[in-house]
Amino acid sequence: MTPPAAAAPATRALAPAILALALGHVFSNAVRTLPAVAADLLERDLGLAADELAAITGIFPLAFAAAMVPVGVALDRYGVKPVALILLAIASAGAAAAALAPGPLGMALAQAVLGIGCSGMLMGPMTFAAKALPPARFALWSGLIQTTGNTGMLLSASPLAWLVEAAGWRAGYAVAAAFAVLAALLVAAIVRERPPRPRDPAPSAWTDAREVVALGLSRRLRAPVVLALASFAAVLGVRGLWGGPWLMEVKGMPRIAAGNLLLFCTLALTLGPTLAGWLARQAGGRERTLLAGGHLAAAGLLALLLLGGPGGPFGAFPAALDAALLAAFGLAIGFQVLAFPMVRAAVVPEQTGRALSAMNIAYFGGAAALQAVSGAAAAAGGAGAAIASFVLALVLCTAAFLMLSRPSNEGTHR
């Protein structure tokens, strides 16, 4: 095992390097949630129905999940910096392709390229921090990385709503492409890391890939992986696609007003991971309880949001209450970040990139599957039915997580 002093860059360089790498996660969050404030224009300009738009945007998490196996292997084998630079170049090309997409096929291709490019945007800084920091500090930094990355959703709320209103959705993707180029320049200038220590004997790429899959299915990671299937899917489904149509089409809000309400949700999503990390430390690291409680609370808050729609049992909620429910949802689902320290603690340092990538496959594979389910639900019952599909998924996956993570089944979880 590589000694910590040899594996980590100088301590004073860690924070700028981690934050520079996290800019890729900012880009990823912005570009994958842009459709929430432009869904109607995308449908009109590309000639799509709601379920067809859901299917096309669902290509992003599907490509993301498919790329996670080689990305996880590459992070451990070649290091974070070169992988991050390659992925940022791919992501910038994908955003440019989306801005120029002439029709549904072009947008589908752009979403696939974006998904591949964004596949390591969270795992890059997470792997860098996990290998460079002791476990106690990594728990804090994992929340800070997620918080930094979630500011990308701030960009796709009111700011991008204004840009889309003024210049169209293509301008949003063009700005995102430029941001990815800027992030790549900063990573190239700031990040320093020692080359990974070769494994002896060096395994084949196929062996490494099988290890990623095996880790995801292993007993020690099974519980957080099951929870992850619904966890990010709910964020992407509500904040990335169906939140905007719910507010604009069901609640009758104009685009910028809807963007302002989504901004409350995004602010909460930005603060939630840091709050979760702080509470985990105060509560003695009870990740299991906090993870389950946060996801069940998120499901309940979405259910309340739906009950406050037109024709609901309480009548239509005012905009202020919708904003409060969306913000509370953002805080609650932000506890998903506590799954990363659980995964990090379950493996040796040399498996960090693979284990975190296996976890991310579950996050985005679940998002891709549930995006398709939500599209079918929307075709049958509108945006409210789409959001309800995520409520059900959160409840079922949290119940499975609690069962699989009982001490008798998973002794490392508290």
Helix-strand-coil percent breakdown of the chain, rounded to 5?
85, 0, 15
Q: DSSP string spanning 362-406?
A: HHHHHHHHHHHHHHHHHHHHHHHHHHHHHHHHHHHHHHHHHHHTS
Q: Which pLDDT score is estimated for 412?
A: 42
Question: In this predicted model, what pLDDT tens digit does every residue of 125-180 receive, in sequence order?
Answer: 988 887 777 766 776 777 778 788 877 777 766 677 788 888 888 998 999 999 99
Instruction: Print the domain residue range for 37.
Output: 11-190+207-404
Intervals of the chain under pLDDT 50: 1-11, 409-414
The CA radius of gyration of the chain, in Å to the nearest whole number, is 20
pLDDT of residue 394: 97
Locate tokens 């099988």: which residue? 210
Residue 17 lies in a domain: yes
Q: Is 251 among the domain residues?
A: yes
pLDDT at 11: 45
Residue 195 lies in a domain: no
Is 399 contained in some domain?
yes
Tell me what pLDDT residue 204 has.
64
State the pLDDT at residue 81: 92
Q: How far apart are CA 69 and CA 362, in angstroms?
A: 11
Residue 114 lies in a domain: yes
- Distance between CA atoms of residues 212 and 70, nearest Å: 9
Q: Is residue 216 part of a domain?
A: yes
Structural domain includes residue 200: no
Structure confidence at residue 65 (pLDDT): 79
- pLDDT of 202: 58
In this structure, what CATH number is given to the domain that contains residue 400?
1.20.1250.20
Query: What pLDDT is recorded for position 5?
Result: 41
Residue whose entry in the numeric block shows the structure tokens 């955003």? 95
Domain assignment of residue 6, yes or no: no
Domain count, the chain: 1
d(CA 222, CA 405): 8
